[in-house]
A and B are shown apart, each in its own frame.
Chain A
Amino acid sequence: MVEIPSRSRVPQVGSEAQLRTVLAALSGVDAVGVTARAAKLATRSPKRETKARALDLAIAMVDLTTLEGADTPGHVAALCAKARRPDAEDATCPPVAAICVYPDLVATARAHLAGSPVRVASVATAFPAGRASLPVKLADVAEARAAGADEIDMVIDRGAFLSGRLGQVFEEIVAVKEACGSAHLKVILETGELVTYDNVRRASWLAMLAGADFIKTSTGKVAVSATPPVALVMLEAVRDFAESTGQVVGVKLAGGIRSAKEALRYLVLASETAGSAWLEPRTLRFGASSLLTDLLLQRRSQRTGVYARREHVSVE
């Protein structure tokens, strides 16, 4: 278990100028080095008992997500059933960490998850673009909270970040964090739109300084989502942040992670970069929908020694 000390050592950021000074002090990212390091770690492949444990851990880290315009209460109910008991034929399979839905479906998810350890997460703040005024974003968060969300996934205003209005991005996160109350705040950086690894590092620090409980790669709605090098940069950021402030921030990898193999690679990456203390659902999550199916198939294959049939695992 990771000890979470008080926030006292987190530098207080009083002005945009001060924020700029802190972010400017971050060293640049060696893009070639990061890519090579991520590729090298991807060659490690856990086997047998380690793999079996890693698969269970990955399942327990999944934020089972559905963020489609066509979502219905029935669909969310089915997803909740899968979240509580991912493998209907095997009670030893752990439940997932959370269900992630749009705010209007939080109440549905809450009702269907009653009495289970599965948490309810909701995207808010004008997901996925984040292009709305602050009062609208706060109202979005308030609605999700009122409906019973335990975790809020917010998007940052990439337009503001990329045009240098860092103070605005910071203020928004602070305001949303306040609106969250006791709910965990995950800040989506949408790394696919941040262009450079330097920006990913700066945005990670900005979000952590503003009070994020998690930093999250992507919405899953743009072409480029989570990639191993981006994950490496973010994991370095949470490690460095914990070292300098004592504050442990989680990482959520989301978008485009579909296979168990990729998920296990991210576990290796997290263990080698941030440390094994991060290998628990409280500090590492996978935002995904189809990933769970592959994890379950691999888990079955691992236990039976026979390659499993996709149709034997519930679709959702």
Chain B
Amino acid sequence: MSERLDVRKTYKLVIGGAFVRSESGRAYAVAGADGAFLANAARASRKDVRDAVRAAQAAQPAWAAHSALLRGQVLYRLAEMAEARAVELGDQVARAEGVDAGAARASVARGIDRLVWYAGWADKVGQVLGGANDVAGPFFNFSIPVPVGVVGVVAPADSSFEGLVDALVAPLVTGNAVVVLASEHRPVPAVLLGEMSATADLEAGLVNVLTGRLDELGPVLAAHEAVDGLDLTGATDPAALAALAAHSLTRVLHAGPPATPEGGLRRLRAFVDTTTVWHTVGA
């Protein structure tokens, strides 16, 4: 029997639920931690950023309008998809991060657990970040967290799956849509998670994954007026990106909080606004 040829996958962008090559037609080679060729990935352009933001804007209102329970269920479904492909994810994490197979599998498992943890927050975040306020009159007064809209995420450079889950899922839980700039040198797990999102009942456009040069894409995403929140965990120069985002009043999370319950709650809080409603007290 003859030796099999390698079947090498070219990883594409995830924009509006479709797996597309960059509008520019460019690609770049991704190397593993050992320096050996790992895969080809699309090298997104500023127009891909624009398209992704447009897709996210279109998808976000319907997602936010779902019941919190349903959002939690959909995110749990994403965890199911990740679990089913945990071996593939582990393999890619091992090759990208240069850790041994056991450590990579453990990292992926922690990431999936974290996804489940965030899914559970969907119908609880309102109680924790919102509340009933005492007012001097015959009214109920409630503060309710509402999503900011479209959140741009500069994914962590090193932690290609586990760290990504925190940055990607936290804004989704509260009803935002996300545009992720994947880790420049370790983009594969992010694209895989994007593929999974397409089979996990997340509507097209809610999760958009762009791969490419961060110094090219970061400023475009940060300055985009329709981006309402920015997670700069993986940015090499967060202050510069935050400055670009300032003119359109974008919410900015400068550095990723630790992957602890407190850190997770900080992430959930980063991309919600608070709206206050009044209601008369019944007789």
A217 to B105, CA, bound (A): 61
Chain B residues with CB under 8 Å of A306's CB are 223-225, 247
Chain B residues with CB under 8 Å of A305's CB are 223
Closest chain B residue, CB of each to CB of A300 = B225
Chain B residues with CB under 8 Å of A312's CB are 225
A90 to chain B, nearest CB (A): 15
A155 to B275, CA, bound (A): 51
Indicate whether B236 reaches chain A with its CB closer than 8 angstroms.
Answer: no
Q: Are A309 and B223 in contact (CB under 8 A)?
A: no
Indicate whether B125 reaches chain A with its CB closer than 8 angstroms.
Answer: no
A310 to B225, CA, bound (A): 9
Indicate whether A308 reaches chain B with its CB closer than 8 angstroms.
Answer: yes
**Which among A307, A310, A312 has the highest number of chain B CB atoms within 10 Å?**
A307
A49 to chain B, nearest CB (A): 19
Indicate whether B38 reaches chain A with its CB closer than 8 angstroms.
Answer: no
The majority secondary structure among interface residues of chain A is loop
Closest chain A residue, CB of each to CB of B221 = A307
Enumerate A295-313 residues with CB–CB distance to B below 8 Å.
305-310, 312
B26 to chain A, nearest CB (A): 17
B60 to chain A, nearest CB (A): 13
Chain B residues with CB under 8 Å of A309's CB are 225-226, 248
A307 to B51, CA, bound (A): 11
Indicate whether B242 reaches chain A with its CB closer than 8 angstroms.
Answer: no
Number of interface residues of A (CB under 8 A): 7
A309 to B57, CA, bound (A): 10
Indicate whether B190 reaches chain A with its CB closer than 8 angstroms.
Answer: no
Number of interface residues of B (CB under 8 A): 11
A293 to chain B, nearest CB (A): 13
A186 to chain B, nearest CB (A): 33
A125 to B49, CA, bound (A): 46
Chain A residues with CB under 8 Å of B224's CB are 306-307
A310 to B226, CA, bound (A): 8
Closest chain A residue, CB of each to CB of B248 = A309
Chain A residues with CB under 8 Å of B50's CB are 307
Indicate whether B220 reaches chain A with its CB closer than 8 angstroms.
Answer: yes
Chain A residues with CB under 8 Å of B225's CB are 306-309, 312
Enumerate B33-60 residues with CB–CB distance to A below 8 Å.
49-50, 53, 57
Chain A residues with CB under 8 Å of B49's CB are 307
Contact with A along B231-266 (1 / 0, CB 8 A): 000000000000000011000000000000000000
B90 to chain A, nearest CB (A): 37
A306 to B244, CA, bound (A): 9
Chain A residues with CB under 8 Å of B223's CB are 305-307
A306 to B50, CA, bound (A): 10
Chain B residues with CB under 8 Å of A310's CB are 57, 226
Enumerate B209-231 residues with CB–CB distance to A below 8 Å.
220, 223-226
Enumerate A32-82 residues with CB–CB distance to B below 8 Å.
none
A308 to B225, CA, bound (A): 5
Chain A residues with CB under 8 Å of B248's CB are 309
A309 to B224, CA, bound (A): 8
A308 to B50, CA, bound (A): 10
Chain A residues with CB under 8 Å of B226's CB are 307-310
A274 to chain B, nearest CB (A): 30
A59 to B57, CA, bound (A): 25
A306 to B53, CA, bound (A): 13
Chain A residues with CB under 8 Å of B57's CB are 310
A136 to chain B, nearest CB (A): 43
Closest chain B residue, CB of each to CB of A308 = B225
A306 to B223, CA, bound (A): 6
Chain B residues with CB under 8 Å of A308's CB are 225-226
B223 to chain A, nearest CB (A): 4
Chain B residues with CB under 8 Å of A307's CB are 49-50, 53, 220, 223-226
A308 to B49, CA, bound (A): 13
A88 to chain B, nearest CB (A): 16
A19 to chain B, nearest CB (A): 48
A196 to B49, CA, bound (A): 39
Closest chain A residue, CB of each to CB of B226 = A309
A304 to B53, CA, bound (A): 18
Closest chain B residue, CB of each to CB of A305 = B223
A312 to B224, CA, bound (A): 12
Closest chain A residue, CB of each to CB of B53 = A307
| Listed A/B pairs (17) with beta-carbon separation below 8 Å | A305-B223, A306-B223, A306-B224, A307-B49, A307-B50, A307-B53, A307-B220, A307-B224, A307-B226, A308-B225, A308-B226, A309-B225, A309-B226, A309-B248, A310-B57, A310-B226, A312-B225
Spell out B's residues near A (CB within 8 Å): 49-50, 53, 57, 220, 223-226, 247-248
Known interface pairs A307-B50, A307-B226, A308-B226; 12 further A-B residue pairs with C-beta atoms within 8 A, sorted by A's residue number: A306-B223, A306-B225, A306-B247, A307-B49, A307-B53, A307-B220, A307-B224, A307-B225, A309-B225, A309-B248, A310-B57, A312-B225
Spell out A's residues near B (CB within 8 Å): 305-310, 312
Closest 10 CB pairs of A and B: A309-B225, A306-B223, A307-B224, A309-B226, A307-B50, A308-B225, A306-B225, A307-B225, A312-B225, A306-B224
